[in-house]
Structure 1
Amino acid sequence: MHGHDSPPPVRATIWVRGRVQQVGFRWWTRARALEVGLTGYTSNLGDGRVQVVAEGTHAECERLLALLRGPGTPGQVTGVTEIWSATGEGYDGFAIR
């Protein structure tokens, strides 16, 4: 049960487009996600995108989205898309796959 001060966790599945592979993007994303307090993973996709699955509060996921859309990312981000869903079985920490 969640108390009134802790909103239920959500899952954001995020796709990042641009020059985001081979530039340390997953490592950077993992570091930011851990700073925010999220769990999940990030992985390279075959089409050149990076996928990020993050679980935490909606506000925490929004903070990661803002960072992914911000000026400080490695490489060159041309687009960020996300879908929101309920959490799954959960993750231990934040992995790079």
Structure 2
Amino acid sequence: MKLIFGILIVCISSTCGFLFNSKSGPEWDSMRITWGPDPLSPKYFVRQPLTIEEAKKERFEQISTGCQGKFLGQRFMQGKDVSLILIYDSHGNIAGTQMGVSEL
């Protein structure tokens, strides 16, 4: 019985992979970050640049390069707003975000 169940699982897994083309990972076409009193409201979802080129066009400034300090990646922020720092990998694609708190 266990053998039949195992064969069934393998067949279903391989069929789903074939039908849904699981060889490639997800493709991200946008990234939005929300901050506001109603996180479900679409007006608070702000589009963020996915590449370094887009970030520079949107006037983000580079604050670190590569492996400086405690954080890896190329980090960008817009103006003096430390509440959102975008982190890009060595290929220039978004790798993550970082939040900061300004000193008083």
Give the number of the structure with larger relative contact order, counting CA–CA contacts within 8 Å between residues 6 or more apart: 1
Determine which structure has the larger strand proportion and give its number. 1
TM-score by length of 2: 0.27
Q: Which has the larger radius of gyration?
A: 2
TM-score by length of 1: 0.29
